[in-house]
């Protein structure tokens, strides 16, 4: 019988995250974002974190738990993201003030390179060459190489201590399924992490309830599962579901 990976609550699932940890946070424009785990990490208060995600969070109301919240909490030393400013120049991110004052370091990485660096870490590939960002200021002073007549930039794998992700469905062994664009970075972050923590939207199923052919991310790389509390109105909304 495989071990049941279900945890009682979000706080228990993040209780051992130490200062200085590297944390990958999934999600893209909402879907797949582990809001409850981010909120639990804010309560936990671990400091000097490196946070990897597509963005540092939104500029819009209602404010959802995001990296910006951890930054305001004084918990973040560095972010690695494909956006370190808002998509619209007129939007100001909570993160920006701390970045511009030098309190938080940031590494900006093209989105496909970010995904591939995570994939490489999970796949045991230490580095790879990509055509992305060649000829831009991101490539200045870095190693490039010409292969078959085209210039490529060397990029290194991005290993992770803890991945925070969100899935639609899980069985007790950690096999996951995502719904629609909830998938995004989440399978890659699970593969890249030593410990993967998942908030799950539906009741956690017994082992075997997800057919082996239908698994998106294998339980082998998933360590902790927490059921997202059901929304009171039976309707999925970003605002209502965040556990307090």
Partner 1 sequence: MSWTRMQMAERLVREFQDGWVVNLGVGMPTMIADVPMGDRDIIFHAENGVIGYGAVCAPGTEDLNLVNAGGQNVVLNPGASIVHHADSFALIRGGRMDVTVMGAYEVAANGDFANWKLKGAKGGGIGGAMDLAASAQRVFIMLEHRTRDGASRLLPRCSLPITAAGVVTLVVTDLGLFAPLGEGFALRDLAPGVTLEEVRAATACPIIA
The residues of the shown chain that bind partner 1, judged by CB under 8 A, are: 28-32, 54, 82-87, 89, 96, 99-100, 106, 108-113, 115-116, 118-119, 130-138, 168, 179-188, 236-238
Measured from the CB atom, the residue of 174 and 187 that comes closer to partner 1 is 187
Q: Which CB, 100 or 211, lies closer to partner 1?
A: 100
Closest approach of Cβ 64 to partner 1, in Å? 13
Instruction: Return all residues near 64 (Cβ < 8 A) that are at least 6 apart.
Output: 33, 35, 57, 58, 238, 239, 242
**DSSP single-letter state for residue 222:** -
In whole angstroms, the minimum distance from the beta carbon of 93 to partner 1 comes to 8
DSSP of 158-196: --EEEEEEEESEEBTT--EE--GGG-TTHHHHHHHEEEE
Burial of 108 (0-12, 13-18, 19+ CB in 10 A): middle
Rounded Cα distance, 29 and 59, in Å: 12
Could you tell me the smallest distance in angstroms from the CB atom of residue 234 to partner 1? 14
Closer to partner 1 by CB, 135 or 230: give it. Answer: 135
Least CB distance to partner 1 at residue 85 (A): 4
Q: Tell the smallest beta-carbon distance from residue 18 to partner 1 (Å).
A: 27
Residue 127 sits at φ, ψ, to 5 deg, of: -165, 165
Min dist CB 31 to partner 1, Å, is 4
Residue 17 vs 32, nearer CB to partner 1: 32
Alpha-carbon distance of 72 to 240, in angstroms, equals 23
Q: What does the alpha-carbon distance between residue 196 and residue 182 come to, in Å, rounded to a whole number? A: 16
Our CB check for partner 1 shows the closer of 180 and 244 to be: 180
Contact 71, 39 (CB under 8 A): no
Closer to partner 1 at the Cβ: 10 or 178? 178
Cα torsion for 5, 6, 10, 13, to the nearest 10°? -20
Omega before 226 within 30 of 0, i.e. cis:
no
Q: Which is nearer to partner 1, 162 or 185 (CB)?
A: 185
Nearest-approach distance from CB 23 to partner 1, in angstroms: 17
């Amino acid at each position: 019988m495989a071990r049941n990976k279900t945890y009682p609550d979000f706080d228990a699932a993040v209780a051992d995250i130490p200062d200085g940890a590297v944390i990958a946070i999934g999600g893209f424009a909402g879907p797949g974002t582990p809001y409850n785990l981010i909120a639990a990490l804010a309560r936990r208060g671990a400091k000097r974190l490196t946070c990897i995600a597509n963005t540092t969070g939104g500029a819009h109301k209602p404010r959802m738990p995001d990296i910006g919240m951890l930054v305001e909490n004084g918990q973040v030393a560095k972010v690695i993201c494909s956006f370190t400013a808002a998509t619209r120049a007129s939007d100001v991110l909570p993160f920006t003030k701390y970045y511009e004052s030098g309190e938080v370091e940031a590494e900006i990485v093209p989105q496909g390179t970010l995904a591939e660096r995570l994939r490489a870490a999970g796949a045991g590939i230490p580095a790879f060459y990509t055509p992305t960002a060649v000829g831009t200021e991101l490539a200045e002073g870095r190693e490039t190489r010409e292969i078959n007549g085209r210039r490529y930039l060397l990029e290194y794998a991005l290993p992770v201590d803890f991945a925070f992700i969100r899935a639609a469905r899980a069985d007790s062994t950690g096999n996951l399924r995502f719904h629609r664009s909830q998938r995004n970075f989440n399978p890659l972050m699970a593969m890249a992490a030593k410990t993967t923590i998942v908030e799950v939207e539906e009741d956690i199923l017994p082992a075997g309830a997800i057919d082996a052919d239908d698994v998106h991310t294998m339980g082998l790389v998933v360590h902790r599962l927490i059921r997202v509390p059901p929304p009171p109105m039976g309707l999925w909304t970003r605002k209502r579901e965040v556990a307090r």
